[in-house]
């Protein structure tokens, strides 16, 4: 995955409460706690904040924590050990995991087998595991169907919720030949791409059947 300059080399662990019970005075309103685990495809444009804002527009309160490092796969987070502690805190309703496109066999095995570790831990701690399906770089557009298939298979195998951002992106590209969801490097999302991703995530977290 392309690296960014040092100011993007982030260990970003933040929690933000929006329209929470204390703020709006409605003690009966649930705040959903979401853990994002990923890399630059999640922290570029601060996708969790966009999700929080999009949820608020739909009347849903979200409190998020983001654990993201450049070039990280889900196994890298697991090896570090921080993510296990966060999930085991039982503070989260949803755990959203994401890594690179994972069109090749190695990435597929990570999604399937390392994802199973996340699934088992989430089940023990009353959290719903979710896969944030991403996309390939424009250079590797021909691998898009493998990205979609591998994320879909991993979510199915591990009884997780699929957040099909990459699939929606591909439909948009194929229908319009407009690749404006990509940023200038042809891989990371533009702001518009991240905004679309946030809408898809909110729709599938809270409104899908």
Q: What are phi and psi of 61, to 5 degrees?
A: -95, 130
Angle between helices 165-176 and 144-157 (to 10 degrees): 150
Count CA atoms closer than 13 A to 132's CA, side-chain side: 30
Question: Is 132 domain-assigned?
Answer: yes
Domain presence at residue 165: yes
pLDDT score at 18: 34
Looking at residue 181, which CATH number applies to its domain? 3.40.50.1110
pLDDT computed for residue 82 by the predictor: 98
pLDDT of residue 208: 82
Angle of the 191-206 helix axis to the 47-57 helix axis, nearest 10 = 50
Instruction: Give pTM, 2 decimals.
Output: 0.87
Rounded mean pLDDT for each run of 10 residues along the chain, 209 residues in total: 40 37 41 98 98 97 98 98 98 98 98 98 98 98 98 98 98 98 98 98 92
Alpha carbon 35 to its chain centroid, in Å, reads 9
Q: Is residue 22 part of a domain?
A: yes
Domain that holds residue 179: 6-206
Beta bridge partners of 36: 66, 96
Give domain status of residue 41, yes or no.
yes
Confirm whether 1 is domain-assigned: no
Name the H helices within 38-164.
40-43, 47-57, 74-80, 82-88, 105-109, 115-124, 144-157
Total domains in the chain come to 1
């Amino acid at each position: 995955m392309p690296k960014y300059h040092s100011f993007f080399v982030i260990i970003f662990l933040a929690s933000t409460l929006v329209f929470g019970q204390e703020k709006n005075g409605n003690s009966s309103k649930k705040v959903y706690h979401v853990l994002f685990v990923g890399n630059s495809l999640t922290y570029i444009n601060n996708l969790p904040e966009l999700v929080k804002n999009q949820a608020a527009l739909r009347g849903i309160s979200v409190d998020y924590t983001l654990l993201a490092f450049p070039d990280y796969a889900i196994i890298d987070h697991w090896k570090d050990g921080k993510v296990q502690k966060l999930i085991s805190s039982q503070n989260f309703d949803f755990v959203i995991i994401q890594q690179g496109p994972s069109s090749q066999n190695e990435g597929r095995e990570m999604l399937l087998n390392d994802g199973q570790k996340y699934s088992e831990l989430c089940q023990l701690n009353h959290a719903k595991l979710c896969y944030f399906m991403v996309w390939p770089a424009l250079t590797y557009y021909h691998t898009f169907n493998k990205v979609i298939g591998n994320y879909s298979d991993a979510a199915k195998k591990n009884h997780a919720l699929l957040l099909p951002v990459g699939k929606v992106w591909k439909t948009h590209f194929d229908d319009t030949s407009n690749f404006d969801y990509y940023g200038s490097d042809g891989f990371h999302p533009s702001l518009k791409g991240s905004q679309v991703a946030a809408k898809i995530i909110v729709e599938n977290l809270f409104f899908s059947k």
